Structure 1
Amino acid sequence: MAARQPGLPRAVLRWLQSLDLSVCPRHCRRDFSNGYLVAEILSCYYPRDIQRSAYGNGSSLAAKLSNWSRLRRFFAKQKLNFAEEVIDGTIHCKPGAAEVLVQDIYSMLTNRRLRSIQDREVDFTDYYYQAQLPMAARSTASKAIKNNIKLTEIMTEPSVNINRQKANTIINMHMRMRMQEREEDPQRFNIKPSLGQRALCHPSCTTASENTVSILKEKFFAASYSSEIRGKTDVHFKEIQVKQADRSPVEMG
């Protein structure tokens, strides 16, 4: 009976058990890396195209590359689209890659959609695992490169520039995590607050300054308006005549 793997749904486990495979998959990252179990699963659905005897159940890099080379040709012939990142991650035992591959195969062969792989972002690094660890137990930069770049990757990829890009990606990921740690716990890294962070902002001071600014604005607009009126020479004013009422000497006395 297949042991339940983290990230592998029960429906996929029951499906694997129903196929009656010759090898019991107990550890997805290790058992599916050489492609033998993948070929055995596909032979149940494509018996004429997949011959089990053509695939070896070895653990060497040569055996892995030989099996996956045949599987890639079969995928292209049957127009089965599997992401290269998933296949490479499975070959090099990247975290979570084999689980994703098995779920993709299950969905393609059974026409059943799994919620766990909908809108999934492909990331086969140990970033999420490191984020769950305490800060003191997390990997250093060199350890992060060793954990996320396997020796088999370097052996199968002769380009130095591509390997350098992979290492730079891992270092950038490590630096982002370190920056997040410094923001979450500045005391651990002896980070002193800046002068702006030390300053206290009192509400009364803020209100007084706002009132001062508003008063200055009113004075400025008033002065501008009066100077504008005085500066206009073509302004004509209509003289208003007031008629005086006649008063008798008696009334005045």
Structure 2
Amino acid sequence: MSRKLKAVVVDDEANAVDFITSIIAEYCPDLEVVGKAYNVSQGVATIQETRPDLIFLDVEMPAGSGFDLLEEFPDKKFDVIFITAFNHYAIKAIKFSAVDYILKPINITEFLEAVSKVIQKRSDSKYETGESIKVLLENLKSGTPSRLAIPTSDGMEYLNPKEIIRIEADRSYSWLYLAGNRKILVSKHLKEFQELLSDRYFFRSHNSHLINLKFVRKFIRKEGGYIEMQDGEQIPISRNRKDLFLIHMSRFKG
């Protein structure tokens, strides 16, 4: 890296700010802390003054949230690593948008992994700084996230989950089969997609398959049972999942 990335730390807990600053000083030679802030208004002023490349941002603070802070910057020329509690309501939206985050209490290994991911992304000439943050804020406003960030070999693609017909496991990867006869190979386990899409219209029919109920054409009982999708594919269904599948379909409104 030709120059150090400028970092700002925003957290209402002084101990957390000091801890993050000390980790960066000891383990992150590619980063330089150029500002610290302890609430939203201080954070906005510090970011405007220092113009950082990376912000370590607490989600929940007095008199505003980290998301409120981000709304003050229409043109987001920085990356963000969120700092949040495990059970925070925004965790799923953060994951949905492929924004990096660290859970409290902060684990040094996880912290360094998050920093490494940001540095790696910024080294890609096709990477669009701030795009995932924009998607996150859109998803939070909508209540039900409508854009799913998918890392691809070319960068990041943002999909509406309604476009996904089915997802098939391929060892540590997953194939996303999309409307329009497209498919994408993603470096994510099927379980990760199941967790993200579990409160929608997706169903895990088999150890290797997650299907969109909107695209189910019919259920065939013969030969052990299978599901025929609207794209013509026949998807196996585990014996112990059949009854649950039929219950889901009977309740499904499309």
Does the alignment reach a TM-score above 0.5?
no
More helix by share: 1
Normalising to structure 2: TM-score of the pair? 0.25
Kindly name which structure, 1 or 2, has the bigger radius of gyration based on alpha carbons.
1
Query: Structure with the greater relative contact order (CA < 8 A, sep ≥ 6): 1 or 2?
Result: 1
Normalising to structure 1: TM-score of the pair? 0.25
More strand by share: 2
